[in-house]
Amino acid sequence: MSVLVLVEQADGATDELSLQALALARDLGSPVHALSIGEAVTGLGAYGVETLHVAQDDRLSTYAPAAWAACLGQLADRLQPSAVVAAGTNRGNEVLAHLAARRDLPFAANVIAVGSDGTVTRVRWGGSLLEEARIDSDLRLLTVAPHMVEAATVNGSEAAVEAFEPALDETEFVVRVVDHAETPTAGISLAEAKVVVSGGRGVGSADGFGMLEELAGLLNAAVGCSRVVTMAGWRPHTDQVGQTGTKVAPDLYIACGISGATQHIAGCKGAKKILAINSDAEAPILASADYAVIGDLAEIVPAITAELRKAQSQ
Ligand SMILES: Cc1cc2nc3c(=O)[nH]c(=O)nc-3n(C[C@H](O)[C@H](O)[C@H](O)COP(=O)(O)OP(=O)(O)OC[C@H]3O[C@@H](n4cnc5c(N)ncnc54)[C@H](O)[C@@H]3O)c2cc1C
């Protein structure tokens, strides 16, 4: 039986997390259909998509969760897939939750694997446990945990593109995005950055983040932070890494003055390497770190920045 995948876009291309969702979806059924809202994306054939359906309605130019769920539901009615899959992004989880509520269907979020007997393995409690569950339904709704499944290409030809005109009531647009606020890290997305320089309470103040910004600038990195920092109003919530923030998977995560609470580690444990800078040699983050510098970050961070500048000027 077929499988239907909601694909999200970032800067006109398919979002990396949607490509990861497609990799898992291929194990759930065939052929793979994809739904893109508003605009077509190219290159999905290489990820195993046979047909890309593009939902078209002028009102879909901005994100509206109920409207997206209506599009997905109407296409599912037509295609009768065995599963509807989305990336485990805020949007993916929200849209599938809407669809599940409308259809009174079970929904498994943050799945990382599907067994041959249909059992799903999913991440729970901020990544501290894996749960095996059976979805008791003819139509399975699931999202794929970010950065837990690798996006992989297959030898597929270009996907056929079909326009799809959903029947959408005005009430579907009651909740919709009306504005976008620029974030301080505009340009380098926290979720996609190869290097993240992150600060916690130990940074001491909003101004203290200036030295982290400087280091990040030299490393082409994004700046992240802990929840203590967002609660104190030093940085916006969009910068928060963790269970209730962004999940990151950079090559290098530099944690400055962050203790390493489980809720924070839930957001950065996908990093290939973690460097902790902390004045406390017993800080819990050292259990997750690959490298550590013990000392005052107000001395260590500028020292690293100075060395980088020296190396870059040679
Ligand atoms: C439901 C729930 C969800 C949560 N979600 C998140 C989340 O998404 N993300 C998140 O981050 N937290 C989250 N938290 C909060 C989490 O439990 C911790 O409270 C928080 O991560 C601690 O932030 P911190 O490491 O910056 O501060 P602290 O725990 O206070 O640690 C500060 C660290 O800085 C070090 N330090 C101090 N001064 C210096 C210095 N001059 N130089 C070097 N090091 C120094 C200290 O040794 C210490 O290790 C959540 C909590 C709950 C209950």
The low-confidence residues of the chain, meaning pLDDT below 50, are none
**Residue with tokens 């359906």, as numbered in its chain:** 53
Indicate if 142 and 270 belong to the same structural domain.
no
Indicate if 111 and 246 belong to the same structural domain.
no
Burial degree of 282 (CB within 10 A; 0-12, 13-18, 19+): exposed
Ligand 1 in reach of 232 Cβ (< 6 A)? no
Ligand 1, atom 51, residue with closest C-alpha: 263
Give the end of a domain, one of 173, 208, 239: 173
Question: Given this model, what pLDDT does residue 275 score?
Answer: 98
Strand partners, 7: 36
Question: Given this model, what pLDDT does residue 155 score?
Answer: 79
Indicate if 118 and 215 belong to the same structural domain.
no
From residue 94, alpha-carbon distances to 117, 251, 271, 277, 283 in Å are 27, 29, 25, 36, 35
What is the domain range of residue 220?
A: 195-313
**Alpha-carbon span 154 to 256, nearest angstrom:** 40
Q: Token digits for 47?
A: 């990820």
**Alpha-carbon span 221 to 217, nearest angstrom:** 6
Question: Given this model, what pLDDT does residue 314 score?
Answer: 80
Task: Residue 18: give its domain's CATH number.
Answer: 3.40.50.620
Query: The pTM is what?
Result: 0.70
Pocket residue to mutate for ligand 1, from 234, 243, 269, 297, most atoms within 8 A of Cβ:
243
Indicate if 72 and 110 belong to the same structural domain.
yes
Ligand 1 in reach of 294 Cβ (< 6 A)? no
pLDDT, tens digit, 9 for 90 and up, residues 209-241: 999 999 999 999 999 999 999 999 999 999 999
Task: Residue 240: give its domain's CATH number.
Answer: 3.40.50.1220
Q: Into how many domains does the chain fold?
A: 2
Question: Given this model, what pLDDT does residue 187 score?
Answer: 64
Whether 178 is in a domain gets the answer: no
**Alpha-carbon span 150 to 226, nearest angstrom:** 26
**Ligand 1 center from residue 203 Cα (angstroms):** 11
Indicate if 205 and 283 belong to the same structural domain.
yes
In sequence order, what E strands does 200-285 have?
222-225, 252-256, 273-278
Indicate if 12 and 81 belong to the same structural domain.
yes
